[in-house]
Amino acid sequence: MDISFNPIQSIDKAMRLLFKNDAELSQQFTNSFDPIIRAADPKFADFQANGILPLAKKNRLNPVQLANDVCKKLLDSQAIDSSLFEISVAGPGFINFKLKAAYLSRWLENFSSTKAIQQETSQWLNKEVTVIDFPSANTAKQAHIGHLRPMVIGESIARILEFSGASIIRDNHIGDWGTNFGTLIMILKEKGIHVTDFTNPAEALELIDSLYKEGTKLENNNPELRNVSRNELLKLQNGDTENTYIWQSIIDVSNQAFEKLFEQLDVKIDYTLGESFYKDKVSRVYDELSSLEIAEESDGALVVWHNEIKKFAKDNKRPFPFNIRKKDGASNYASTDLATILYRIEHFKAKSVIYLTDSRQQDHFEQLFLTTKKWFQKKDYPLPKLKHVWWGTILGIDNKPIKTKSGESIKLQSLLDEAIERALKVVREKNPELPLDEQNEIAKAVGIGALKYVDLSSNRTQDYVFDWDRMLSFDGNTAPYLLYVIARINSIFRKAELNLSDSSLSNYFEVQSLYEIQLARKLIQFPITLNQTLSDLRPHFLSTYLFDLAGVFNNFYNNEKVIDSNPSIQQRRLSLCHRTHTVLSTGLKLLGITTVERM
């Protein structure tokens, strides 16, 4: 039996082979058998096979009896190597698998570095071209706290997919073709402000933000101006030179301001192809969907009906239509999104597209995906995998959507500044002796890391409460706690005068004591965790695992002497520290969190 990266695979393979090759079993159960292997309650075992129970029920057999037979056959036929696994029947007919020290030790030898781990995971997604659509903010508005989640969750998911072998294209689908530009151009002209005067992008964006508010207020007081704005928008849409120049300048300022935030949050973008990029590509969508009889005119608009959607409009007769062209002939969010899918398939050759937005857009994506499915089926196009990754709201300590004291949304830049400032205070208290440069560097990693970690450590589809004190605490499921474990391991190595990259650390060693074995058992759960995180793109599975691993490590460290007079004990325990460091830092990197040498 080989030591596979994910032990579930070894067990699964062994059980399937047994059912195929054993004369008695293959005759009795002619249909294919699914062993259903899962991680088990660690108190009893590492893994559990749950597939015997339904099989026995279906064939009216005693499940415990059948599980016992299968267990015996697994060992007798040597399908399961008894030097690597301890197996037993549990409960109503489950089979428990416990990894023996020999398996753990060899696993730790085979997968000792991030590189070795990645060699395994990079085969999972088989270079599948995957477009990830994030953070895709609307332009001409300053970034606020609501923009944190798409950046943080998007970056982490992109890293996890990439690590798992996908070929990732990060496409920032900015909302740069909205009706707000009519108002903006109107007010700029009204006040005689020239976009050529914009110098500092962040300041310019703040000005644009306030001008827009002023513009809508003016329009409300003076409906005549609304026509002026509408006319400016029409001119822009028809390619008027001056308005296009103003529009482009606003987009540039907005992109530059966002880029500064991306840099601070370590977010990488490959393309910024916003809604405007598709303005001349929507007519093909109208043509195709109309001629394929998927879309029809309704009240002057072009719409697609999805009768399978059970959310009904007010008249209670039909579901809401998916409106893909407005009454006045203008394109909308839906038309550009349909054109975007086509572009991603034809130009990028995407096999999979992942969209990140908050929960409010679930209906839009449900309709978008259904439309695409019907459209591509009719035109005999390969249907890409389409997935909407959505999330809940960030709440204040009062459990209401978070706002500033005066009721406005919190600016993202001031949030980042405050996080770093607060972290610096903590770092100064804890490490007054460190040089200032290093204190600042640590504060940046801890502050930004803490912000990212709270966001990633809760199940993304739930709301979470934003609490500075909790996220910066060194106790509990926080970034500082995890970063501190890494720093602690670094300091152990400094004490041992050994480099973490020393080749002796990748050698074989045998885990022995209770705490060593506990730590090893946790370490080998890493592939299973990654798999779970990947299957529904929920980074909190990974963060929860890292937190648990840190706890098991601390237990080991508090109970076993690492720096020991016996060189072989010391070598083996240092090796375990090294593996913990590898898994923790790899995991944090996948969450987008920067680690520090000491803190």
Contact residues: ligand ARG, CB under 6 A: 133, 136-138, 173, 175, 337, 340, 355, 357
Q: Which is nearer to ligand ARG, 254 or 340 (CB)?
A: 340
Count helices and strands in the chain by DSSP H and E runs: 22, 13
Give min distance, CB of 133 to ligand ARG, in A: 5
Give min distance, CB of 145 to ligand ARG, in A: 14
C-alpha span between 37 and 95 (Å, rounded): 9
Q: Which is nearer to ligand ARG, 88 or 138 (CB)?
A: 138
Give min distance, CB of 308 to ligand ARG, in A: 22
Give min distance, CB of 390 to ligand ARG, in A: 10
Answer whether 137's CB lies under 8 Å from 546's CB: no
Give min distance, CB of 136 to ligand ARG, in A: 4
Q: Which is nearer to ligand ARG, 117 or 174 (CB)?
A: 174
Strands (DSSP E) found in 307-452: 322-325, 352-358, 385-391, 394-395
Give min distance, CB of 156 to ligand ARG, in A: 17
Tokens of residue 357, six digits: 């937005």
Distance of CA 471 to the CA centre of its chain: 19
C-alpha span between 590 and 599 (Å, rounded): 21
**Is the backbone peptide bond immediately before 435 cis, with ω within 30 degrees of 0?**
no
Beta strand pairing call for 464-465 and 394-395: parallel
C-alpha span between 599 and 582 (Å, rounded): 18
C-alpha span between 511 and 516 (Å, rounded): 6
- H/E/C letters for each residue in 264-301? HHCCCCCECCCHHHHCCCHHHHHHHHHHCCCEEEECCE
Q: Which is nearer to ligand ARG, 144 or 538 (CB)?
A: 144
C-alpha span between 52 and 283 (Å, rounded): 56
Give min distance, CB of 404 to ligand ARG, in A: 21
Answer whether 439's CB lies under 8 Å from 431's CB: yes
According to DSSP, residue 506 is labeled G
Give min distance, CB of 411 to ligand ARG, in A: 17
DSSP result, 422-475: HHHHHHHHH-TTS-HHHHHHHHHHHHHHHHHHHHHHS-TTS-EE--HHHHT-SS
Q: Which is nearer to ligand ARG, 211 or 354 (CB)?
A: 354
Burial of 335 by CB count in 10 Å (0-12 exposed, 13-18 middle, 19+ buried)?
Answer: buried
Give min distance, CB of 344 to ligand ARG, in A: 10
**154 CB contacts (<8 Å, ≥6 apart)?**
132, 134, 135, 170, 267, 356
Q: Which is nearer to ligand ARG, 133 or 232 (CB)?
A: 133
Q: Which is nearer to ligand ARG, 105 or 172 (CB)?
A: 172
Q: Which is nearer to ligand ARG, 323 or 490 (CB)?
A: 323
For residue 548, the cross-strand partners are none
Q: Is 492 helix (H, G, I), strand (E, B) or coil?
A: helix
Give min distance, CB of 449 to ligand ARG, in A: 26
C-alpha span between 385 and 380 (Å, rounded): 15
Closest residue to ligand ARG, judged by C-beta, is 175
Q: Which is nearer to ligand ARG, 344 or 521 (CB)?
A: 344
C-alpha span between 286 and 326 (Å, rounded): 11
**305 CB contacts (<8 Å, ≥6 apart)?**
296, 318, 319, 321, 322
Tokens of residue 67, six digits: 């599980």
- Which residue reads 């909407």 in tokens? 388
Q: Which is nearer to ligand ARG, 10 or 142 (CB)?
A: 142
Answer whether 409's CB lies under 8 Å from 441's CB: no
Q: Which is nearer to ligand ARG, 16 or 281 (CB)?
A: 281
Give min distance, CB of 274 to ligand ARG, in A: 8
Q: Which is nearer to ligand ARG, 138 or 459 (CB)?
A: 138
Give min distance, CB of 358 to ligand ARG, in A: 8
Report CA-CA distances (Å) from 119 to 43, 111, 122, 134, 204. 31, 9, 5, 27, 46
Give min distance, CB of 279 to ligand ARG, in A: 15
What is the side-by-side strand order in the sheet with 322-325? 295-298, 301-304, 322-325
Q: Which is nearer to ligand ARG, 138 or 413 (CB)?
A: 138
Q: Which is nearer to ligand ARG, 338 or 574 (CB)?
A: 338
C-alpha span between 447 and 478 (Å, rounded): 11
Give min distance, CB of 521 to ligand ARG, in A: 41
